[in-house]
Amino acid sequence: MIEVDRPREDPIVASAELAEELAALDEIVGFDPAAALERAVALGERAEALGDHDALVTALLWQAEANQRNGDPAAASKLINHVRDAHAPLGPEHAVRAAWLMARIHTDLGDRPTALEHAMDAVAAFDEKVPRRLRTRVLIKVADLLDELGAHEDSLIWYSRAEELSAGDGRMHMLVVNNRAYGALEAGEAEEALHEAQTLITLSARYKRPLNADALDTVARIHLLRQDPAAAAETAQQAVQAAQQLESKVADALPEYLLTLAVAQRHLNLPEVAAMTLKRADDLCGTQAYARTRADILQERAEVEAALGDYRAAFETHKEFYAADQELLSQQREAQARARQTIFETITAREEAARYREEARRDPLTGLRNRLYVEERLPGLLDGRRPPGQVSAALLDLDHFKSVNDSFSHEVGDEVLRIVAGLLENAAAIPDAGSFAARLGGEELLLILITEDESEAYAVVEGFRASVESYEWTNITPGRIVTLSGGMTMAVPGDTRSSLLARADAQLYAAKSAGRNRICTD
């Protein structure tokens, strides 16, 4: 008998197909986490059989997200810690996703300062290989947390960054605006919330993407805030209909949408109709998963019963609401105590968040500002809100720095970087107070200057270059002088962070090509 070899699966093709299937989980994990978990487990088994380490880690992180969304933060946290311990070092995408998930978990536990720390860790791990949608979600999470911690102005900066990154992606762009609208709603900022609601509607038309049930509910609540119950009732009814059309986990939010509708109906002097809507909402609620919603329904039912003139029933329902609210509060406190020994109070949380935000914007080795600070600060200097003066950028690179590490040691290289950073900080302090210095990574430095004109900026940058060359390096790098090359450019109308730095980078390349230890400008 002649044996015929069966064609074996091409591992490269199999891994590519596996990667596509893992990416597709993004479409279902939000509205059906149980199905996403089952699929992620199966894909993880396939990845392990193929020996595809990257796909295995991706599958494990999808499992963690599905668990978190399904209300099991302990299982999610355990998976993330396993990934970090067993599969270190993580690549940028995995590091970002793991930190973002930890931020979500700590948000669920009510520990927003720690959640913010994890979210900022995710931002610090960004690079261009990290999917745009994931980066957008991280920026949204940072913005949400800052808003919840009382740093509203800071949150708007991060929402703007998320919106810029999400432009062209209807789903993510609308998510950014919806979250920003919700923040304005929670703050009681009626006009700001209305503006965001109108932006949502505009984006819906632009992207030919109807508002989902969650966005419709947000808009309905904004109408209530603006004391327009008719518009609120119409929009809330649309949210209910949108949720009912989905045979998936997203329909779990239906009781909340019905509650919004009932509030609008009561304000329209339709208490009988509101009572029926509340009964529908209550019938959909279980005893555990909807504890918060059920308490809110009881509170609204007391209002409806009072509107119907049944004050005794209203009083009894209000007592029931108070007991349910206290029980819910007790459960939340118990869960938080198990997860964290201490939960920051509001003032402490704000102070801790402010401290961490400052630390997250500093390079730990040199003390200079870092890439995150540049991404936040530079766009504001270019969009017309900057102080008077001209903005210029100088990208700077230490010449042949690798050979310093190789010849003397990395410890000496670190010392050289610290000395150069100090000289750079001195240079940044010469012009306008809006100027700053940053380390972008490795030996690459950035100097942003606000000066009267280009000649003044060039004098500052050239003075810095000369100060590095003339520094007494004898005791640090015996027999070797440290020099640097730089490329400088002046901002022009319409410049973005990317366009400005791209021109500076081109001039830096020109300086290196011309022999190094010089500053080139366009």
Residues with catalytic roles: 443
As given in the structure block, the two tokens for residue 282 are 């209550």
The C-alpha atoms of residue 155 and residue 358 are separated, in whole angstroms, by 15
Size (the chain), residues: 522
Give the closest residue to 519 by CA, choosing from 474, 466, 478, 475. Answer: 466
Please state, in angstroms and rounded to a whole number, the distance separating the CA atoms of residues 202 and 206: 6
Torsion of CA 144, 83, 35, 15, to 10 degrees: 110
Closest listed residue to residue 16, CA positions, set 41, 61, 60, 46: 46
Strands in 326-418 per DSSP E:
390-398
Q: Which of 171, 173, 176, 179 is nearest to 148 (CA)?
A: 179
- Nearest C-alpha neighbor of 376 from the set 448, 427, 445, 443: 448
- Here the tokens at position 475 are 């005791």
Q: What is the DSSP letter of 388?
A: S
**199: its two tokens:** 């932006």
Q: How far is CA 476 from CA 135, 345, 363, 471, in A?
A: 41, 48, 22, 10
DSSP conformational letter for 31 = T
**What is the four-CA torsion angle of 282, 283, 284, 286, rounded to 10 degrees?**
80
The string of DSSP codes covering 296-351 is: HHHHHHHHHHHHTT-HHHHHHHHHHHHHHHHHHHHHHHHHHHHH-S----HHHHHH
Asked if residues 57 and 88 have their Cβ atoms less than 8 Å apart, the reply is: no
Strand 519-521, strand 436-441: pairing: unpaired
**Residue found by looking up tokens 């400005």 in the block:** 500
DSSP run (H or E) holding 371: helix 371-382
Residue type for position 209 = R
Q: How many CA atoms lie within 13 A of 151 on its CB side?
A: 24
